[in-house]
């Protein structure tokens, strides 16, 4: 699975990417070297590209080799406990490297910054530098402060920062697919979730800068952009949180309008987005998707649980019936749209019957793909304060196994149903398993592999699918018209 297929908060799923070092070509005048490792969701990977850009301006070239770095930064995730543990063990390794190279500066960025600043800086003395997600412009100053012999920290969250005008340095890019952050933070307060605490209030980025970035990417050869936000359906420009227009002389732009604008950049630029929120997803977004061929027919719509009482305790803002109504709207407006989801097992108080409701919802919907997790209690969240984390670990694991097994069946059936059809596929690169094959994706986000022929990465080809594994379609390039 490639980086671009991951949703927000899915840091457990792609071990090969965990802590993957990122690199860009070094600038001749740059004398210092930055080693940057990213954990967590697409948002964090996208932020790392902003950090690389800010540090590029400050004279740092990136390197893949931590041994030659002057500055090591870990962009961290706090979504589940094991995400944090992984970072801590990595930091311990760098602490020993620091003993040998005293000039080395080690810092933590991202979602662990706010909560763990004291423990990381003072108690465990694992790092010199802690910077929260809204303070990245301050990194060059903070590094100077550390070089001057002090510890440095800035974890202030902002109501305005969107890094709108910063051109991200595309790290580890395939040159074909890229992320564009359209908003930051989250105002939802789902009771299990740490993100509102780590990333602060929701704010949307200026649509002009988003469209400009999409144009620039197209000019640079990119053919797919994924618009990123924790809840893209609540994107709003020129509206305050109460829905009042801020500047009457400026247009109001909501997510549906933003998508229209990005879709209009170039018919050959594909658009994906993540994450949609069931409580906010409106039919006008679905109609815009249906209208534009270059908006991919794929929606990631996290359900979390199939039981309305559990959803209430999770403070998700919808019921099972509401979710099913949104599903019905998708099927009505785009009958072939692929759907994926996030599901959590063992949330506080979850009974066997409530778990069964999740299984029955999965049987009804038959998701193409799902990210599945065991509930992990997070400090400061509403769930931690209000509910007991009372589902035993074995029960959580058993339920997780059950939903994973069901998803395996559903996913395989979904892939099988695509077999035999011809798809327009954007070529992303050489298949990991076979040098003589390319891989790409169809509009439904299914991975398709096929012999290279004369195709090139960054172009579209029609592929007739002949065979499949549970999650991959196998085919060959054809001149026939595509079914989708």
Hey, what are 391's tokens? 């589902």
* Alpha-carbon gap, residue 475 to 478, rounded angstroms: 9
Size of the site for ligand SAH (CB under 6 A): 18
Least Å distance between CB 260 and ligand SF4?
24
- Which of ligand SF4, ligand SAH, ligand F3S, none does 198 bind, CB closer than 5 to 8 A by kind? ligand F3S
CB of 343 to ligand SF4, least distance (A): 12
What whole-number distance in Å separates Cα of residue 484 and Cα of residue 475? 15
Closest CB to ligand SAH belongs to which residue? 9
Task: For residues 198 and 217, give the distance between their C-alpha atoms in angstroms, rounded to a whole number.
Answer: 29
SS3 annotation, 224-246: EEEEECCCHHHCEECECCCCCEC
Nearest distance in Å: CB 84, ligand F3S = 9
- 8 A C-beta contact, residue 375 and residue 391: yes
Rg for the chain (alpha carbons), in Å? 22
Q: Which of residues 43-82 bind ligand F3S (CB under 6 A)?
A: 43-44, 77-79
Q: What's the N-to-C CA distance of the chain in angstroms? A: 22
Q: How many CA atoms lie within 13 A of 387 on its CB side?
A: 22
Nearer to ligand SAH, 154 or 276 (CB): 276
Torsions phi, psi for 329 (to 5 deg): -65, -40
Q: Strand 183-184 relative to strand 203-204: parallel, antiparallel, unpaired?
A: antiparallel
Map the footprint of ligand F3S across residues 182-211, applying CB under 6 A: 194-195, 198-199
Helix (H, G, I), strand (E, B) or coil at 397: helix
Task: Give, to the nearest 10 degrees, the angle between helix 320-333 and helix 352-365.
Answer: 10
Question: Among residue numbers 10 through 39, which ones bind ligand F3S (CB under 6 A)?
Answer: 11
Write the binding mask 257 to 296 for ligand SAH: x where contact by CB under 6 A, - elsewhere.
------------------x-x-------------------
Q: Decide: is 108 part of the binding site for ligand F3S (CB under 6 A).
A: no
Shortest distance, position 449 Cβ to ligand F3S, whole Å: 29
List all residues 6 or more positions away from 351 whose beta carbon is below 8 Å from its beta carbon.
none
Spatial CA neighbour of 333 closest among 291, 274, 364, 295 = 291
Distance CA 165, CA 210 (A): 9
- Selected range binding ligand F3S among 20-28, 41-49, 203-211, 268-276, rule: CB under 6 A: 41-49
Q: Contacting ligand SAH (CB under 6 A), which of 33, 117, 378, 396?
A: 378
Sign of CA pseudo-dihedral 415, 421, 424, 430: positive
CB of 80 to ligand SF4, least distance (A): 12
Contact residue for ligand SAH among 34, 344, 406, 449 (CB under 6 A): 344
- Give the nearest residue (CB) to ligand F3S: 40
Residue labelled with tokens 């002090």: 150
303, 245, 301, 292: which is closest to 273 by C-alpha? 301
- Rounded to a whole number of angstroms, the minimum distance from the CB of residue 78 to ligand F3S is 4
**Reduced DSSP (H G I as helix, E B as strand, rest coil) percent helix, strand, coil of the chain, to 5:** 35, 25, 40
Q: Is 403 in the site for ligand SAH (CB under 6 A)?
A: no
Name which of 407, 419, 483 is nearest 449 in CA terms: 419
What is the SS3 assignment for 61-82? Answer: EECCCHHHCCEEEEEECCCCHH
- Binding track over 25-64 against ligand SAH, x by CB under 6 A: ----------------------------------------
Instruction: Record the tokens describing residue 316, joined without a space.
Output: 């998700």
Considering CB distances under 5 to 8 angstroms, the limit depending on partner class, which of ligand SAH, ligand SF4, ligand F3S, none binds residue 344?
Answer: ligand SAH
Angle between helices 42-57 and 139-147 (to 10 degrees): 60
- Please pick, from the candidates 177, 226, 230, 358, the single residue that binds ligand SAH as defined by CB under 6 A: 230
Q: Which residues bind ligand SF4 (CB under 6 A)?
A: 186, 188-190, 193, 195-196, 230-231, 277
Closer of 159 and 336 to ligand SF4 (Cβ): 159
Among 24, 41, 50, 477, binds ligand F3S (CB under 6 A): 41
**458 binding ligand SAH? (CB under 6 A):** no
Q: Write out the two tokens for 374.
A: 């065991």
Residue of the chain from 3, 6, 9, 128 that contacts ligand F3S (CB under 6 A)? 9
Measured from the CB of residue 375, what is the shortest distance to ligand SAH in angstroms?
5
Instruction: Compare residues 193 and 338 and give the one whose CB is closer to ligand SF4.
Output: 193
Helices (H), 170-237: 195-199, 207-219
Of 129-137, 320-328, 369-377, 403-411, the segment contacting ligand SAH by CB under 6 A is 369-377
Q: Does 304 bind ligand SAH (CB under 6 A)?
A: yes
Question: Residues in the site for ligand F3S, rule: CB under 6 A?
Answer: 8-9, 11, 40-41, 43-44, 77-79, 110-111, 194-195, 198-199
Site residues (vs ligand SAH, CB under 6 A): 8-9, 79-80, 192-193, 230-231, 275, 277, 302, 304, 342, 344, 373, 375-376, 378
């Amino acid at each position: 699975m490639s980086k671009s297929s991951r949703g927000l908060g899915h840091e457990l799923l792609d071990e090969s990417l965990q802590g993957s070092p990122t690199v860009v070509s070094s600038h001749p005048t740059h004398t210092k070297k930055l080693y940057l490792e990213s954990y967590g969701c697409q948002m964090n990977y996208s932020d790392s590209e902003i950090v690389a850009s800010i540090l590029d301006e400050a004279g740092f070239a990136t390197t893949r080799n931590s041994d030659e770095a002057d500055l090591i930064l870990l962009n961290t995730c706090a979504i589940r406990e094991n995400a944090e543990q992984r970072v801590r063990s990595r930091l311990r390794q760098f602490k020993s490297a620091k003993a040998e190279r005293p000039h080395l500066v080690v810092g933590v960025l991202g979602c662990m910054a706010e909560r763990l600043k004291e423990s990381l800086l003072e108690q465990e003395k694992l790092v010199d530098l802690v910077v929260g997600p809204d303070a990245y412009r301050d990194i060059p100053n903070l590094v100077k402060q550390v070089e001057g012999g002090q510890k440095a920290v800035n974890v202030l969250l902002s109501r305005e920062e969107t890094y709108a005008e910063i051109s991200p340095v595309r790290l580890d890019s395939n040159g074909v697919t890229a992320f564009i952050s359209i908003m930051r933070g989250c105002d939802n307060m789902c009771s299990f979730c740490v993100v509102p605490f780590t990333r602060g209030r929701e704010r949307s980025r200026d649509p002009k800068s988003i469209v400009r970035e999409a144009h620039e990417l197209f000019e640079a050869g990119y053919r797919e952009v994924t618009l990123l936000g924790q809840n893209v359906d609540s994107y709003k420009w020129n509206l305050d949180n109460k829905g009042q227009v801020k500047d009457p002389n400026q247009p109001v732009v909501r997510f549906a309008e933003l998508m229209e604008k990005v879709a209009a950049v170039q018919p050959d630029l594909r658009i994906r987005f993540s994450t949609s929120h069931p409580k906010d997803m409106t039919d006008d977004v679905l109609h815009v998707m249906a209208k534009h061929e270059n908006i991919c027919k794929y929606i990631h719509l996290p359900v979390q649980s199939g039981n309305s009482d559990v959803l209430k305790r999770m403070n998700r803002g919808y019921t099972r019936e509401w979710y099913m109504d949104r599903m019905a709207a998708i099927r009505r407006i785009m009958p072939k749209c692929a759907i994926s989801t996030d599901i959590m097992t063992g949330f506080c108080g979850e009974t066997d019957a409530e778990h069964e409701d999740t299984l029955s919802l999965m049987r009804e919907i038959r998701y193409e793909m799902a990210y599945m997790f065991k509930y992990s209690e997070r400090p400061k969240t509403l769930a931690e304060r209000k509910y007991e984390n009372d589902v035993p670990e074995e029960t959580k694991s058993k339920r997780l196994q059950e939903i994973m097994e069901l998803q395996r069946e559903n996913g395989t059936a979904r892939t099988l149903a695509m077999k035999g059809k011809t798809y327009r596929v954007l070529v992303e690169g050489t298949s990991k398993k076979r040098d003589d094959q390319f891989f790409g994706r169809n509009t439904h986000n299914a991975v398709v592999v096929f012999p290279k022929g004369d195709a090139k990465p960054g172009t579209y080809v029609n592929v007739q699918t002949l065979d499949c594994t549970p999650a991959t379609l196998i085919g060959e390039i054809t001149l026939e018209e595509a079914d989708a």
